[in-house]
Amino acid sequence: MHVKPVKEERLAIHGGQPVRTAYLAYGRQSISEEDIAAVIETLRSPYLTQGPKIREFEEAVARLVGAKYAVAFANGTAALHGACYAAGISAGDEVITTPLTFAASANCVRYCGGTVVFADIRPDTYLIDPEQIRQHITPRTKAIIPVDFTGQPADMEEIMRIARDHGLIVIEDAAHSLGATYKGKRIGSIADMTMFSFHPVKHITTGEGGMITTDSEAFYHRLLLFRSHGITRDPARMHRQDEGAWYYEMHDLGYNYRMTDIQAALGLSQIRGLDAFVERRRAIARLYDELLSPLPVILPYRAPERESSWHLYLIGLQLEKLTAGRKEIYEALLAENIGVNVHYIPVHLHPYYQAAGYPKGLAPHAEALYERILTLPLFPAMSDEDVRNVARAVEKVTRAFARV
Ligand SMILES: *Cc1c(COP(=O)(O)O)cnc(C)c1O
């Protein structure tokens, strides 16, 4: 029987049959019947917001990660804003973060009037380089915002040591790393403050939502104040005690960044699935590693003593072995119905930061990496067959563009 060699397979982008008939997104939520029931129960309850579910969800997350306090926010970006406020960031302060992240990791510093300082990544781990952090510290540095990019914890031990040596506050952007561990410790219990996001592509979702965990009572109270207009109703904290039961005081200019009880009820229900979600993400990553290893791509780095929670699975294209660039490969994979993505455009290259004077070339490793990365679909509801489809599409496309 004549078997058609794979290399003659016509790419979908050139009119061939796509590997998949149905589009596979890069990420999406898993919602169970229990999740839906929990939301409905809250809809029928007296409290849609400012009720008991917020506190329950905060306590569940604090317990899960091993932190003393947790404060829920309307979204992860608002939570980062709250953390920068709690850390006392203001005009003239410098905060060091990675350029290889979502813009919110840097924007939160700008909201408070602070100056963002980008420290380059390590080319192997894609994580902020502690040596680069050291080199960017000045007398004006106030905080560090490391990002657990893709779900792999940053070099937290070294970053905490640098922070202690220089009196800096560490706000860990753990939007990618709920459920990850660093030397056996759960992410959320290491930095001064840790931010989680509950956007639908993240590990658990509340639609929109975020949380800060901390062991500091002082940060905890500042986060609570900031989340709700700068207002306190705590008699122990008020300037006047004898006004009456209606009385409250506004102590600082805060925002309405509250999460609703509807969202918190969903989060509480979702948290029950977290271990299974993370386990499934790890299994998918292992299968990708196995299927993709013969192909002209660089597989994700796995740091010792860390367990990634695998928010993202990135491949680095070995462009020197290919006749096409990342854009052509991306478009060809999309035509095969594979929802590839790019995480991230280095933050300092966005027009807003360019206009603020950050030069191209300030983070050579992040900028070089950006030219070759692709994010493959990864979410718990993917089947092994979905994973095989993706790997087959990567094989088909890289073969079609192989440099011989
Ligand atoms: C998702 C994300 C955020 C912000 O979270 P939102 O809940 O979408 O506001 C911040 N940092 C990183 C790295 C993220 O991936």
In percent, the amount of the chain with pLDDT more than 70 equals: 98
Q: What is the mean pLDDT of residues 327-335?
A: 98
Atom in ligand 1 nearest the alpha carbon of residue 209: 7
CA angle at 126 for the pair 331 and 62, rounded to the nearest 5°: 105
Decide if pLDDT at 5 tops 70: no
- The number of C-alpha atoms within 13 Å of 162 and in the hemisphere containing its C-beta is 23
Lowest-pLDDT range of 8-22, 75-89, 157-171, 281-295: 8-22
Please tell me the distance from the alpha carbon of residue 324 to that of residue 175, in angstroms, as a whole number. 32
| Distance from Cα 2 to the centre of ligand 1, integer Å | 51
Buried/exposed 151-167: b ≥16 CB within 10 Å, e otherwise: bbbbbbeebbebbeeee
Q: Architecture of 33-271 per CATH?
A: 3-Layer(aba) Sandwich (3.40)
pLDDT confidence of residue 34:
98
Query: Which residues, at least 6 apart from 327, have a Cβ–Cβ distance to it below 8 Å?
Result: none
pLDDT confidence of residue 3:
44
CB 363 within 8 A of CB 348: yes
pLDDT confidence of residue 1:
40
Whether 101 lines ligand 1, by a CB cut-off of 6 Å, is yes
* pLDDT tens profile 35-76: 999 999 999 999 999 999 999 999 999 999 999 999 999 999
Which residues have a catalytic role annotated?
A: 202
Please tell me the distance from the alpha carbon of residue 198 to that of residue 268, in angstroms, as a whole number. 11
pLDDT confidence of residue 404:
86
| Distance from Cα 80 to the centre of ligand 1, integer Å | 9
Enumerate long-range contacts of 250-254, CB under 8 Å, 24 or more apart: 251/225, 252/225, 252/226, 254/225, 254/226, 254/227, 254/228, 254/229, 254/230
| Distance from Cα 306 to the centre of ligand 1, integer Å | 21
| Distance from Cα 104 to the centre of ligand 1, integer Å | 6
For the chain, the domains span 12-28+274-400, 33-271
CATH superfamily of the domain spanning 12-28+274-400: Aspartate Aminotransferase, domain 1 (3.90.1150.10)
* pLDDT tens profile 131-153: 999 999 999 999 999 999 999 99
Atom in ligand 1 nearest the alpha carbon of residue 202: 1
Pocket residue to mutate for ligand 1, from 100, 102, 193, 378, most atoms within 8 A of Cβ: 102
* pLDDT tens profile 337-393: 999 999 999 999 999 999 999 999 999 999 999 999 999 999 999 999 999 999 999
Decide if pLDDT at 214 tops 90: yes
Pocket residue to mutate for ligand 1, from 126, 173, 203, most atoms within 8 A of Cβ: 173
Decide if pLDDT at 198 tops 90: yes
Atom in ligand 1 nearest the alpha carbon of residue 201: 1
Q: What is the mean pLDDT of residues 210-235?
A: 97
Atom in ligand 1 nearest the alpha carbon of residue 101: 13
| Distance from Cα 102 to the centre of ligand 1, integer Å | 6
Short-list 98, 147, 148, 43, CA closest to 369: 98
Q: Rounded to 5 degrees, what are φ and ψ at 102?
A: -75, 145
Pocket residue to mutate for ligand 1, from 80, 81, 105, most atoms within 8 A of Cβ: 105
Whether 77 lines ligand 1, by a CB cut-off of 6 Å, is yes
CB 181 within 8 A of CB 156: no
